[in-house]
Amino acid sequence: MNVRSRAALILMSALILVLRAPQGAAQSLTATPIAPNLAPTQVEKPQVGPTVAALTVGVRNVVPTTTTQPQQRGGAGLGQSEALMIVGGAALLVGAVVGGDAGDIFMIGGAIVGLYGLYKYLQ
């Protein structure tokens, strides 16, 4: 690089730095607080054109709003009959995996427990 090329490169670099300085200062954090942008509140205008409520035809389902909370069920939300059906199904699966005479006993016991849980559930 000759002297003229270096001088031109330095001059261009300095010019770029000078021109970029205001942009860099705009992004820096300053001690002066930033004024909030308070836009005027928008007034709701009435809906013009088709609405979702106008799409329903016939009887409309009116759901009353209640302030009472639904009652919480204890445990996992399962009653005894549902638990018996799940245990019976699990015993059937274990019996199928075990196989042999022991597996047959597990499957028969699981079927009995599951059917008893289904009987209690349906009553």
Its pTM surpasses 0.85 = no
Q: Mean pLDDT over residues 93-122, rounded? A: 92
pLDDT in tens, 44-82: 777 677 777 777 667 667 777 776 666 665 556 678 899
pLDDT of residue 8: 84
**More confidently predicted of 3 and 62:** 3
pLDDT of residue 115: 94
pLDDT of residue 91: 92
pLDDT of residue 110: 93
* CA–CA dist 122, 51 (Å, integer): 44
* CA–CA dist 81, 71 (Å, integer): 20
